Amino acid sequence: MSAQLCWKIDGNGAVGGRITVPGDKSISHRSLLFSALADGSSRIVGLSRGEDCVATANALRRLGVSISDVGEQTVVRGCGIKGLTSNGHVELDCGNSGTTMRLMLGVLAGQPGVVATLTGDESLSRRPMGRVVEPLSRMGAHVRALGPSQRPPVEIRGAALHGAEHWTDVASAQVKSALLLAGLLADGRTSVCEPSQSRDHTERMLQSRGVVVHRDGRKVSVAGGQSILPQDIAIPGDLSAASFFWVLGAILSDSGVYVNNVGINPTRTGIVDVLATTGAAVEISDVITEGGEPAAVIGVRRSHLSAFEIGGVLVPRLVDEIPVLSVLATQATGETVIRDAAELRVKESDRISAIYEMLVRMGASVSEEEAGLRIVGPCVLKGTEIDSHGDHRIAMAGAVAALAASGTTLIRNVECVDTSFPGFLQCLRSVAPGARIDSFWG
C-alpha cells in the first residue's frame, strides 16, 4: 500500500479570524473555457490554482489555446467559438474534475476537425457521463462513453450540430452548461429545462460576455452562431471553500470567522440561508458585483443552534456543502433531515455513505437513507480515524469535525484536497491557532 497524506488534528482553544479563500472553482473553469472561445485576449485575476482548474487549463492548451501567467493575472488568448484544434487524435486528462470533462464535451461536440478522448482518474472514471453523452448525441454529436454504464473514458469527434430541446432528470449545472455551450456551436436554438434551477454561473457569465441567454422559469435557451466577447475579470472567493470556515464559526467561535470577497451567487447561497435558519449569527457586508457575479464579506459566529431540514429546490443551492452541514447538524438541537440528495452518491465518492461512516465513527447519532441522512444533536464528537475516500469535501468536513471533537482525529488520504483548495490547512491553522494540526505522509 502506497503512502497517504494524513492530517492529525487535536482541537483546542478559540476559533476566529479573517481569511481569504481561493477563487471560485466553478467560475474559474468557466472563465478559462469562455476566454478560450472568445475572439481576443482575456485577463483573469484570482483564478483557482486547484488541480481541477489546472486540468481545464491543460486540456485547453492541448487544443491550441495560449494560457500564460503574467504576475497575478492569467492571460488567455481566445481562438474563437469554433477555433479549437487537435493535432490528430488527442487525449485530454481531466484528472478528478467532472466539470472539466462535462463542459469540455459540450465545447468539443461542435468543433470541426477535433478528435479527442477524455480520460480521468479512478474517481472520475466512476462518474456517469450518459447524462451529457445522450443529449449531445441527439444534437448530432459524434460521442460515446467507452466505460461500463456510460462512464469514462469518453471519445468525441467534432461534428455539425443542430439545436434541440432538453429536459433533464437532475438539476445539474454541469449538464446544463455542456448543452448550452454545444447550443452556441449548433444551428438553431437549444434549450434546457431542469426540475429545479441549478447554479447559473454559465448564464450570468455568458451574458456578461455579450451572449443573449433567455430564461423562462426553469428553462434556459441560447441561439447558435453567437460570439463570445473577451473579458477582464476578477474572480470572487469560492463559497464552497468558505463554507467549512463558516460552520467552524457557527459551532466554535464567539468572535466570528470572516471570509473576504466571497461569491454570493443566489443559486449557491443555500448554506447561508441554512446557517441563518439554524440560529447562527451571520453578518454580510461590502457587497460588490463583477462579471455578473456578486460577492461580499461574510462572517459567522456561534449562537444557539437548532436542527434544520434540507430538501427539494434547496438541494441544488447547497449540494456541495452537505458534508460540512452534516457536521453542523451534530451540534444543533433536534433532528436534522437531509433528503432529495441522491446526487451525492455519484460525486467524487458516495458522499451519503462517507458522511454516515465518518459521523458514526465520531459518535454522532445518524441514520443513512437512500437519498439523505437523519442526524440528531447535539452530541459530543470524539476523535477517531477517518478515511476521506479520496473526496476533498469529506476530508475538509472531517477537519471541521475534528476541531469540534474531544481527543485526536486522524484523517487519511487527504491529497485530494488539492483538487479544490491547496491552501486549506494554512487557512485552518490561521483561524484555530491553539489547535494542533499536523500533516504527514503515512
Q: What are phi and psi of 194, to 5 degrees?
A: -105, 155
Closest CA to 155 of 167, 144, 140, 171: 144
Q: Cα–Cα distances in Å, from 350 out to 92, 107, 206, 356, 394? A: 25, 28, 32, 10, 10
Closest CA to 328 of 280, 270, 268: 280
The label of the residue with cell 485526536 reads 408
DSSP string, 215-226: EETTEEEEETT-
Catalytic residue among 52, 200, 320, 387: 320
Q: Is 438 a catalytic residue?
A: no
End-to-end CA distance of the chain: 10
Contact partners, residue 299, CB within 8 Å, separation at least 6: 18, 249, 256, 257, 258, 259, 282, 283
Secondary structure in 3-state letters for 157-205: ECCCCECCEEECCCCCHHHHHHHHHHHHCCECEEEEECCCCCCCHHHHH
Q: Distance (Å, rounded) from C-alpha 360 to C-alpha 355?
A: 8
Strands (DSSP E) along 79-141, which ranges?
Answer: 89-93, 115-119
List, by residue number, the catalytic residues: 320
